[in-house]
A and B are shown apart, each in its own frame.
Chain A
Amino acid sequence: MKRRVVLVDDHGLFLAGVRAELGDAVDVVGEAGSVADAVPLIKERDPDVVLLDVHLPDGSGDAVINAVAPERPGVKFLALSVSDAAEDVIAVIRAGARGYVTKTIAADELAAAIERVAEGDAVFSPRLAGFVLDAFRAGEEIGGDAELNELTPREREVLQLIARGYMYKEIAVRLHLSVKTVESHVSNVLRKLQLSTRHELTRWATQHRLV
């Protein structure tokens, strides 16, 4: 069964390109170019996955997620963009996106990412992995719920390899783990990213600009 996908992006050219590249791999059931258009469209079409640009003309991607998620908990979001600031990407992930890829991603990899997100797994591009490592590192000594506020050494290792461009199965070989275990580490990191109470993760944005 093909995944039903809604594309939300304000660049017509990019939309056309993605549609053409994905071809028969998925079923594109709708397109929108703004937050205002996207929210009702997603609610109406109820797709499996929404490909969501981090930046839209009338707001950022997390606005779409916040408006849709309460009513359509089954819809999964995959964020994508060209080159956004780390804090914007983190914000979209914290709002509930299951992953982040850059727009330069190859078509087959994008299709694979959509599939993975639809199944409830997380998709970490190298860039997102870097952002997350950075976010969790700032002020390691901060207290609170350590289970949520810190990455385990293993999770850190997995994220570093993702950042270096390793695929899950390559990471599994390298760390002598099963692919399933690698996936669960990544999902754990995503959960921490979304639930962490460490104010570093939110305040980090401002810090990051100063660096």
Chain B
Amino acid sequence: MRLPSFATSTDERALAGVCAGIARDLGVDVTLVRLVFALLALAGGAGILLYLALWAWSRSRPWWAVVMVIVTAFLILDAVGLPDRAVWGIVFVAAGLAVAWRKGGSFRMDAPLSYGGLALAGFGAILLLMGSDAPTHLLGPGAVAGALLLIGGPWLWRLALDRDAERTARIRTEERADVAARVHDSVLQTLALIQRHAQEPRRVASLARRQERELRGWLYADHQFQGESLLDALSAAAADVEELHGVRVELASAGDAPADNALVLAAREAMTNAAKFSGAEEIDVYQEVTADEIAVFVRDRGKGFDRAAVPADRKGIAESIEARLHRAGGIATVTSKPGEGTEVELRLPR
């Protein structure tokens, strides 16, 4: 929220340029503004005070401005003919709100509200409500409602803005996590393989070519496995893992469905993990499609591991499997015990 600057204008100024500045900001004729000030000046000198207040504001003296605006309001209300009691009430409410607003006035959700300001406003409201004069019957409740709106309004507005910002940030974080998982699965793995086969130029070249193809496919296609069946995509992933790591992957299936990116990539990562770390020569992959769920199981009979002993910087399971499937709306469960192999269970509702 941007407050009007009330900056003075040097172009058409008569005195300090306050009227000219307002006219420029609002896009109205400067004479009209001057007329308003002149009329207000008749109300016990309110116009003059308001002029000074705005001038103080433009000179970055907000406190002076606030005080003078309050006095101006007092003068105007008095001129309108309200009883003293109501005038004082309104002034207190306004002053209290000014303090409260200024304290919490950065419009941040976590900015503290000024309890002193609120108390002052409350006192003013009571003054208003206590008055038995006719106009206060309208003014009192109106002032309280206005006060609530003034305090709550910016806060609610800010809340809505924050929610938007938060959503945008979350989407961005998720995208980044997706990219990170992707890079971890493919590029980092390939780089590791290239280091290991540094003495075999042909192998290195073929690994690089393959990685390039894959990255291109991913960068320039929205959905890598669009139109492919899950079984086909898993077969391809299994063949890749067999070729890259020299293990056997047995693929079984009951039912088939269109391939889901996250599911295929998570399953592929699970196979890669099994191939690299379990020591097992064979990996069993089973895909089951039922009316309301797609499940993929990746199992090895290798050495297994203790989840608690896996270093936190090893992102394979947490990021590439669990978080990835979670983002897609599914659940990944990794069951492993040292000596008893590992099973990764991926479930995605249809």
Contacts and interface: CB of A to CB of B under 8 A. Distances in A.
A33 interface: no
Interface in B260-298: 281-288, 290, 297
B252 A130 contact: yes
Interface in A158-207: 160, 163-166
A126 B253 CA distance: 8
Given A165-B286, A211-B256, A127 B299 contact: no
B253 A130 contact: yes
A134 B253 contact: yes
Contacts of A165: 250, 252, 283-286, 297, 299, 301
A111 interface: no
B286 A130 contact: yes
Size bracket of the A interface: 10 to 19
A145 B116 CA distance: 83
B343 interface: yes
The 7 closest A-B pairs by CB, nearest first: A165-B284, A130-B252, A126-B252, A133-B254, A134-B254, A165-B299, A127-B252
Given A106-B281, A127-B251, A211-B256, A133 B299 contact: no
Contact of B248 (A104, A128, A164, A166): A104
A164 B251 contact: no
A104 B250 CA distance: 8
Interface string A79-120: 000000000000000000000001010100000000000000
A81 to B, nearest CB: 13
B291 to A, nearest CB: 9
Contacts of B252: 125-131, 163-165
B255 interface: yes
A119 B248 CA distance: 28
A3 interface: no
Contacts of A211: 255-256
A195 B68 CA distance: 99
Given A130-B287, A133-B288, 20 more contacts: A104-B250, A106-B282, A126-B250, A126-B252, A126-B284, A127-B251, A127-B253, A128-B252, A129-B252, A130-B253, A130-B286, A131-B254, A133-B254, A134-B253, A137-B290, A163-B254, A163-B288, A164-B284, A165-B252, A166-B299
A137 B255 contact: yes
Contacts, number: 58
Instruction: Name, among B290, B299, B301, the residue most crowded by chain A CB atoms within 10 Å (CB to CB).
Output: B299
9 contacts: A102-B250, A127-B250, A131-B254, A137-B254, A137-B290, A163-B254, A163-B286, A165-B299, A165-B301
B339 to A, nearest CB: 13
Instruction: Name, among A104, A164, A166, the residue most crowded by chain B CB atoms within 10 Å (CB to CB).
Output: A164
Contacts of B286: 126, 130, 160, 163-165
Majority DSSP secondary structure for residues of A touching B: helix
Interface string B322-350: 00000000000000000000010000000
A131 B252 CA distance: 8
A179 to B, nearest CB: 17
A190 to B, nearest CB: 17
A128 B283 CA distance: 16
A184 B344 CA distance: 28
A134 B250 contact: no
A206 to B, nearest CB: 15
Nearest to B343: A164
A127 B287 CA distance: 10
A106 B290 CA distance: 31
Contacts of A164: 252, 284, 286, 297, 299, 343
A134 B256 CA distance: 10
A106 B287 CA distance: 22
Instruction: Name, among B254, B287, B297, B301, the residue most crowded by chain A CB atoms within 10 Å (CB to CB).
Output: B254
Nearest to A104: B248
A125 B248 CA distance: 14
B288 A130 contact: yes
A137 B290 CA distance: 9
A163 B285 CA distance: 8
B183 to A, nearest CB: 30
Contacts of A166: 299
A104 to B, nearest CB: 5
B254 A130 contact: yes
Contacts of B299: 164-166
Contacts of B301: 165
Nearest to B285: A165
A160 B287 CA distance: 10
Contacts of A163: 252, 254, 286, 288, 297
Interface string A137-170: 1000000000000000000000010011110000
Contacts of A127: 250-253
Contacts of A125: 250, 252
Contacts of B287: 130
A102 B285 CA distance: 14
A157 to B, nearest CB: 12
A106 B254 CA distance: 23
A125 B285 CA distance: 12
